[in-house]
Amino acid sequence: MLAAVLWPGPTSLAAPQSALASETGITATTIKLGGIIDQTGRGTVVSVPILGGYTLAVKEINATGGINGRKVAYTALSDNYDPSQTLPLTRQLVESDGVFAVMGVFGSDDANVAAPYLESHRVPFFDPVGGGVSVNGKHWIWQTEPDYAREGIVMADFAVTKLHAMRVAMLYQVGIGESQRDAIKRELARKGASLVAVASYQSTDSNLSAQVIQLRSATPDLVILNGTPTPTAAFMQYAHLLAFRPKRGFLANYPMSDPLWLALIGSNAEGNYVSSYADLTGKNRVAKAYRHALAAYHGGKYSNYGLYGYFNATLLFKALKLVGRNLTRTRLRTVLDTRFRNFSTGFTGKLDWTPSQHFGARQFKVYRIHNGQFVPVTGWIKL
């Protein structure tokens, strides 16, 4: 197990004893947060940049005075993208490390393991990373990503109404893509189109030539890609080698909305489409702040995954600031449930958290890949 730890620097003045807080993970000078982010396993192509975004935001907030006078101490444990390791590490963060809240558990399966424990212990869980995470009925979990089923409706609608694809095939990752597959199938049927073939893969698969052959035999107009960058890039490479190019091309879901995926598939990217709940132009205010932080705090290379991590961390820090100096878990929950109604982030479509609804963004854009860039072909599509 590896841990990435970012502690605040020493303070020059000791806080008076009366300023000390009794809430778990809170002292007069520190807010202790933790997360479970793969740092050694197969998810690192996405998880490490997200962690980089988190830690960049921590450096920035601490360098600019902290949160209402307290610095943030963030610890990220690694479960190697293996859900069987997630629960013991979650227990460690809560019972041994004494964190105030959890910021980030990477992977839908991993987050779904951590969620019931954190919910039952009334520990705020902000940013479960994955569109297959269930937050329905949860009171202590807040998500910015949309669930895959909602995105599936948008993708199916775009496929039929904009691309005029009537025969659609789909590649999906086992364990995270089923809800999107089912939503796409229902929406296509509602519009008079059909899902003519599906092929699945395990997250550990590297050879997807059989899936290419299976989908090609169905002669679809369009193939929808669900999953993560490395296996879907392998699929695209095999599709190129086997001369499989549907007449309407490929439409990928939001985990592929990063320049890294474009680099992995190279020229095979040109002309294809990606759905995203985030603005990929890099011109929004969050992206500008992220670039500034990268330069000011030596944060490394720009990445949409890093931007995602930075965005979520700064959003949580905003909520913590709104709570004020008397910081408790219950007061944080109240702020998140009441102060983020129809909330415009500048990076995603609007969030709308209420005491009974903690789902992520419900708006999407579709982008076409042209000359190595994501070019928007729709405005915000609202559900």
- The answer, yes or no, to whether residue 38 has pLDDT greater than 80, is yes
Statement: the pTM of the whole predicted model exceeds 0.85: yes
Report the pLDDT value the prediction gives residue 382, as an integer from 0 to 100: 83
**What is the rounded CA–CA span in Å between residue 151 and residue 167?**
19
Report the pLDDT value the prediction gives residue 176, as an integer from 0 to 100: 87
Residues 6+ apart with CB under 8 A from 150: 183, 362, 383
Cβ-based neighbour number of residue 342 at 10 Å: 8
302, 290 in Cβ contact below 8 A? yes
H-helix segments, the chain = 44-63, 86-91, 108-120, 148-161, 178-190, 209-216, 229-241, 259-265, 285-296, 304-323, 329-338
Q: What is the dihedral of CA 187, 190, 191, 197, to 10 degrees?
A: 60
Report the pLDDT value the prediction gives residue 15, as an integer from 0 to 100: 39
Under the banding of pLDDT at 50, 70 and 90, the label for residue 42 is confident
What is the chain's mean pLDDT, rounded? 93
Report the pLDDT value the prediction gives residue 52, as an integer from 0 to 100: 97
Taking only the tens place, the pLDDT of each residue in 312-350 is 999 999 999 999 999 999 999 999 999 999 999 989 988
Name which of 305, 269, 256 is nearest 155 in CA terms.
256
Q: List the single range of 39-43, 119-123, 165-169, 184-188 with lowest mean pLDDT.
A: 39-43
- The answer, yes or no, to whether residue 279 has pLDDT greater than 80, is yes
Report the pLDDT value the prediction gives residue 21, as an integer from 0 to 100: 52
Contacts for 189-194: CB closer than 8 Å, 24+ residues apart: 191/156, 191/157, 191/160, 191/161, 192/160, 192/166, 193/156, 193/159, 193/160, 193/165, 193/166, 193/167, 193/168, 194/166, 194/167, 194/168
**What is the rounded CA–CA span in Å between residue 312 and residue 292?**
16
Q: For every residue of 304-322, which 3-state class applies, written as one string?
A: HHHHHHHHHHHHHHHHHHH
Under the banding of pLDDT at 50, 70 and 90, the label for residue 6 is low
- Rounded to an integer, the average pLDDT of 197-220 is 95
Under the banding of pLDDT at 50, 70 and 90, the label for residue 10 is very low
- Rounded to an integer, the average pLDDT of 155-179 is 96
Q: How far is CA 269 from CA 113, 261, 273, in A?
A: 34, 9, 8
Report the pLDDT value the prediction gives residue 383, as an integer from 0 to 100: 75
| Fold match, 3-146+282-352 / 148-276+365-382 | yes
Query: b or e along 158-174 (b: 16 or more beta carbons within 10 Å of the residue's beta carbon)?
Result: bbbeebebbbbbbbbbe
Report the pLDDT value the prediction gives residue 114, as an integer from 0 to 100: 97
- The answer, yes or no, to whether residue 366 has pLDDT greater than 70, is yes
- The answer, yes or no, to whether residue 192 has pLDDT greater than 50, is yes
- The answer, yes or no, to whether residue 53 has pLDDT greater than 60, is yes
Under the banding of pLDDT at 50, 70 and 90, the label for residue 22 is confident
**Where does 3-146+282-352 sit in CATH, by number?**
3.40.50.2300
Q: What is the dihedral of CA 22, 24, 26, 27, to 10 degrees?
A: 50
**Where does 148-276+365-382 sit in CATH, by number?**
3.40.50.2300
Report the pLDDT value the prediction gives residue 11, as an integer from 0 to 100: 40
For residues 337 and 300, which has the higher predicted lDDT (pLDDT)? 337
- Rounded to an integer, the average pLDDT of 253-266 is 93
| Dihedral-angle region of residue 187 (phi above 0 means left; psi in -120 to 50 means alpha; beta otherwise) | alpha
- The answer, yes or no, to whether residue 19 has pLDDT greater than 60, is no
**What is the rounded CA–CA span in Å between residue 231 and residue 221?**
22
Under the banding of pLDDT at 50, 70 and 90, the label for residue 12 is very low
Q: Which residues pair with 251 in a beta bridge?
A: 224, 273
For residues 203 and 98, which has the higher predicted lDDT (pLDDT)? 98
Domain ranges of the chain: 3-146+282-352, 148-276+365-382
- Rounded to an integer, the average pLDDT of 144-163 is 95
- Rounded to an integer, the average pLDDT of 355-361 is 93
**What is the rounded CA–CA span in Å between residue 32 and residue 224?**
41
Q: Would you state the structure tokens that stand for residue 217, as one six-digit string?
A: 């035999």
